[in-house]
Amino acid sequence: MRGSGEPPRRQRPAVGLAAGARDEAPGSGPATERLAGQHVVREALRARRRRLVRLVLEDGRRMEEARDLAALAAAAGVEVAVVPHRRLGEIAGAEARSQGAMLEAGPLPELVLADLLTGDSGTRRLVALDGVEDPQNLGAIARVADAAGASGLILTRRRAPPLSPAVSRASAGAIEHLPVARVPNLPRALLDLREAGFWSLGAEPDAEADLFSASDRLLSGDLVVVLGAEGRGLRRGVRAVLDHEVRIPMAGRVDSLNVSTAAAVVLFELLRRGRGGAGG
């Protein structure tokens, strides 16, 4: 049910995902990736969710800036190599902005949907993306989701980018901490989450309900926030299974926001409501 009214809330079954909903994770991708930049490297070393191979640091003035990285690597039992500036550039690649640090590591793990059902019931937040294919947008959304307290990110197997070093860099390393699950069918995943007690909330420009005037009751409980690609928005099949839709009110002449900006508005409004902010 969608709209701006006060729809009756369902009786939520206290069950997990339906049998057979736990899909195998996709292929693990390249054996080794190169993460460049101090923020990304630091978060990868802190999170320890990857297979960590070797930390390469630039000798000279950059070395002083990166001593904390060397300490993190040592604590994780990771080899540390100190090389001249030119050599680091050769290892990291001509286009990499290394900031004096590069980490060789395995790919980020990708989970299945059931792995995201953690945390205290009634306060869980997930973010699901429908057709967001740009790695920069994905990284920016991951950064926002982590900052707003989301506990996981849901991507589709198709029409979604891999969790590449570019995504990690765009997220300022947030994706290193944020669990990510891939699903073959997003509408099916949203129905499975409904069975697990989650409400689905889609962000759509033509929705009747205004995000800021929607009641706290509408925006409470375990929620999965569903965001679509710019221009196309959410697909019809995804919208058909949503519990609610909201729009972000616009006061200017431009009638849309970048998807990562829209994610920030919605997720931080939910965070504000959860901390006792005024509701509709």
Predicted pLDDT at 218: 84
pLDDT in tens, 134-148: 999 999 999 999 999
- Across the range 92-103, mean pLDDT stands at 77
The predicted model scores a pTM of: 0.84
Domains, the chain, in order of start with CATH, read: 33-105 (3.30.1330.30), 113-274 (3.40.1280.10)
Does residue 201 have a pLDDT over 90? yes
Predicted pLDDT at 13: 37
pLDDT in tens, 7-50: 444 444 333 343 233 333 344 445 899 999 999 999 999 999 99
CA angle 98, 101, 106 (to 5 degrees): 95
Predicted pLDDT at 277: 42
φ and ψ of 47, to 5 deg: -75, -35
Predicted pLDDT at 95: 60
Does residue 61 have a pLDDT over 90? no
Separation CA 126–CA 173 (nearest Å): 18
Predicted pLDDT at 177: 97
Separation CA 222–CA 200 (nearest Å): 9
- Across the range 99-114, mean pLDDT stands at 94
Share of the chain above pLDDT 90, in %: 65
Give me Rg for the CA atoms of the chain: 20
- Across the range 80-108, mean pLDDT stands at 84
Contact criterion met (CB below 8 Å) for 131 and 40: no
Predicted pLDDT at 269: 95
Mean pLDDT value across the chain = 85
Predicted pLDDT at 189: 98
Q: What's the one-letter identity of residue 100?
A: G
Q: What is the 3-state secondary structure (H, E, C) of the chain?
A: CCCCCCCCCCCCCCCCCCCCCCCCCCCCCCCCEEEECHHHHHHHHHHCCCCEEEEEEECCHHHHHCHHHHHHHHHCCCEEEEECHHHHHHHHCCCCCCCCEEEEECCCCCECHHHHCCCCCCCCEEEEEECCCCHHHHHHHHHHHHHCCCCEEEEECCCCCCCCHHHHHHCCCHHHCCCEEEECCHHHHHHHHHHCCCEEEEECCCCCCECCCCCCCCCCCCEEEEEEECCCECCHHHHHCCCEEEECCCCCCCCCCCHHHHHHHHHHHHHHHHCCCCCC
- Across the range 237-250, mean pLDDT stands at 95
φ and ψ of 64, to 5 deg: -65, -40
- Across the range 208-213, mean pLDDT stands at 92
pLDDT in tens, 158-197: 999 999 999 999 999 999 999 999 999 999 999 999 999 9
Does residue 119 have a pLDDT over 70? yes
